[in-house]
Homo-oligomer: A and B are copies of this chain.
Amino acid sequence: MSECLLRSGWRGRPDDHQQVLHICRKIGLPVRFILTHDAEIALVAGTGTREGVIAISGTGSIVYGRNHQGKAARAGGWGHLLGDEGSGYDIGLRGLRAVVRMADGRQPSTLLIPEILTQISLTSPNQLVKWISKVDKSQIAQLANSVFQAAQAGDLTAQEIINHASRELALSVQTVIQQLALPLSTQIVLNGGVFQNQASFVKSMQDHFLHRKVTLVAQEPAYGAILIAQQLAVSDG
Contacts of A171 in B (CB 8 A): 106
Q: Give the oligomeric copy count.
A: 2
- Rounded to whole angstroms, the CA-CA distance of A195 and B143 in the bound complex is 35
- Nearest Cβ on chain B to A22's Cβ, whole angstroms: 16
Q: Do A105 and B179 have beta carbons less than 8 Å apart?
A: yes
**Could you list which residues of chain A lie within 8 angstroms of chain B, going by C-beta atoms?**
13-15, 74-76, 78-79, 81-83, 93, 96-97, 100-101, 104-106, 124, 126-129, 132-133, 171-172, 175, 178-179
| 10 interchain pairs, CB-CB under 8 A | A14-B126, A15-B126, A15-B127, A75-B105, A75-B106, A81-B93, A82-B97, A83-B101, A104-B175, A105-B179
Residue of B nearest to A13 (CB): B126
Q: Do A105 and B13 have beta carbons less than 8 Å apart?
A: no
Contacts of A172 in B (CB 8 A): 104, 106
Q: Do A83 and B97 have beta carbons less than 8 Å apart?
A: yes
> Contacting A82 at CB < 8 Å: which of B78, B79, B96?
B96
> Contacting A81 at CB < 8 Å: which of B82, B124, B132?
B132
Given A82-B97, A93-B81, A104:B74 Cβ within 8 A: yes
- Give 5 closest A-B pairs by Cβ, nearest first: A75-B104, A78-B100, A83-B97, A82-B100, A105-B175
- Rounded to whole angstroms, the CA-CA distance of A179 and B104 in the bound complex is 10
- Rounded to whole angstroms, the CA-CA distance of A49 and B82 in the bound complex is 42
- Rounded to whole angstroms, the CA-CA distance of A96 and B178 in the bound complex is 23
Contacts of A129 in B (CB 8 A): 13, 78-79, 82
Q: Do B132 and A79 have beta carbons less than 8 Å apart?
A: yes
- Nearest Cβ on chain B to A169's Cβ, whole angstroms: 11
Most buried by B among A78, A100, A105, A127: A78
- Nearest Cβ on chain B to A46's Cβ, whole angstroms: 21
- Rounded to whole angstroms, the CA-CA distance of A14 and B124 in the bound complex is 12
Residue of B nearest to A97 (CB): B83
Residue of B nearest to A96 (CB): B82
- Rounded to whole angstroms, the CA-CA distance of A74 and B15 in the bound complex is 46
